[in-house]
Amino acid sequence: MIRRLTGLVAVLILVTGCAPRGPGGGGAPGKDAARPLTVAAASDLHFAFSEIGKLFTEETGVEVTFTFGASGSLARQIENGAPVDLFAAADTAYVDHLIEAGAILPDSRRVYALGHLVLAAGAAAPVDDLEDLLDPAIRHLAVANPDHAPYGRAAREALESAGLWEALQPKLVLAENVRQALQYVETGNADAGLVPRSLADVPDITFVAVDPSLYAPLEQTLGIVAGSPREAEARRFAELVTGPEGRAVLERYGFGLPAE
């Protein structure tokens, strides 16, 4: 039986920097031009994008508000009219769907990073490979909900490819997003978790890479929301993410980089 634990769906972080030196582009006048750039980003980007947001504010004087959550949940919010300027998903599917729905500008679509799945555990229950999850000492395994989280889908694919998915059903704990899945491991509510490499390098957590041949590539993709009053600033943020500074940050947090 799959256990479902509740928690925050998204984490809101306001990133500020130096005093404004003027907007980064030609956003609409009035209150829309004064408000922060709003970025909806996959939970695996929490650390990397928080750092990139600070760089963006230092360079442009424009504040950035991030909403982190599962890509599928964020995509639904954008399709329903949430006031977002840029969407950075953990895979291509949700951005492509929003392009088809007319909610993302097609020319803004960019693959900005390649995600990697790892098997994480607390010090009390170290694991070396997926087979170790069958050990009775591993009572609970946290994964993001595969229905709306790309890394959760990748976790399911990896376990299915390894022939372990059915056997591990009684141990599964579904989280709303990958950051919550890692929090379950950090707090001891799960003994192990399948989470992004970009989040796993934290105190008291050990992790090993999951063979990437076991799951479909995680081509993380961004796009600018159609009708955004801050399109110019959103394009500048996308340029920072995909430029040398942003790529250096993403690589430091364990992301792979697409060809330029």
SS (H, E, C) the chain: CCEECCCCCCEEEEECCCCCCCCCCCCCCCHHHHCCEEEEEEHHHHHHHHHHHHHHHHHHCCCEEEEEECHHHHHHHHHCCCCCCEEECCCHHHHHHHHHCCCECHHHCEEEEEECEEEEEECCCCCCCHHHHHCCCCCCEEEECCCCCHHHHHHHHHHHHCCCCCCCHHHEEEECCHHHHHHHHHCCCCCEEEEEHHHHCCCCEEEEECCHHHCCCEEEEEEEECCCCCHHHHHHHHHHHHCHHHHHHHHHCCCECCCC
Q: Give the pLDDT confidence of 90-122 residue by residue, as tens digits.
A: 999 999 999 999 999 999 999 999 999 999 998
In percent, how much of the chain has pLDDT > 90? 83
- Residue 247 has a pLDDT of 98
Q: Is the pLDDT of residue 146 over 50?
A: yes
